[in-house]
Amino acid sequence: MFELVVATKNKGKLREIKELLAGLPFTITSLEDYPDAPEIVEDGKSFAENALIKAWVIAQYTEKLTMGEDSGIEVKALNNQPGIYSARFSDPNATDRKNNLKMLRLLKHVPLKERQACYRCFISVVDGERMVAAVNGQCRGLIAVNPKGKNGFGYDPLFLIPRYHKTFGELDPKIKAKISHRAHALKKLKKFLGEWYLNRS
């Protein structure tokens, strides 16, 4: 069985990735399994660049097939912020709660219909000395007036899907696993990894 290293320490993200890639003949590990891995400096100017940086740095260290993922949320009324700074929106030591509170504060006087938002996910896979896959996915919604739901992580309690009248925090995880930005990207990646495995078996 092959190993796929996911260049993340985010437990919520890793859990979703493992669930969405279930069934593949891969052992999925993360930076938790490589405590001495070098620090990743996310100095890219886009989600795609940061995803590649993560994959490249860790692939060089582990010499294993490595996946880098970068995702975040863009809010139209905030000039598409926080974007690539989603995880550290409130401050360098941000928490999900701090980030959510800052977003609600900035949107305090913006009506719901003008709170359009887009969750984006970009993934790069590096095998040895080269990038072998780059996929992405997105999901559009609105920023709710108040956080709702305990599911998910990040901005999920604020990300409202009008079709279901629920936030990602309230939505059944099985539905989120079909419509989220990460689900769309990982569906493409799962197809690629299946083909990659067959070519090496």
Beta strands 116-127 and 130-143 are antiparallel
Question: What's the confidence (pLDDT) of residue 1?
Answer: 79
* Residue 2 CB neighbours (<10 A): 14
The residue to which tokens 């890219």 are assigned:
44
Question: What's the confidence (pLDDT) of residue 128?
Answer: 87
Active site residue 70: yes
DSSP 3-state of 103 = helix
Sequence-separated (6 or more) residues with CB below 8 Å from residue 166: 148, 149, 160
Catalytic entry in 70, 91, 127, 172: 70
Q: How many residues does the chain have?
A: 201
Question: What's the confidence (pLDDT) of residue 200?
Answer: 82
Reference 59, options 13, 15, 132, 125; nearest CA is 125
129 band by pLDDT with thresholds 50, 70 and 90? confident
Ramachandran sector of residue 2 (left: φ over 0; alpha: ψ -120 to 50; beta: rest): beta
Reference 149, options 100, 103, 110, 95; nearest CA is 100
Condensed to tens digits (0 to 9), the pLDDT of residues 18-34 reads 999 999 999 999 999 99
Residue 201 has pLDDT above 80, yes or no: no
Reference 96, options 105, 86, 106; nearest CA is 86
Condensed to tens digits (0 to 9), the pLDDT of residues 45-84 reads 999 999 999 999 999 999 999 999 999 999 999 999 999 9
- The pTM for the full model equals 0.94
- What value does the mean pLDDT of the chain take? 95
Q: Which domains does the chain have, with CATH numbers?
A: 2-200 (3.90.950.10)
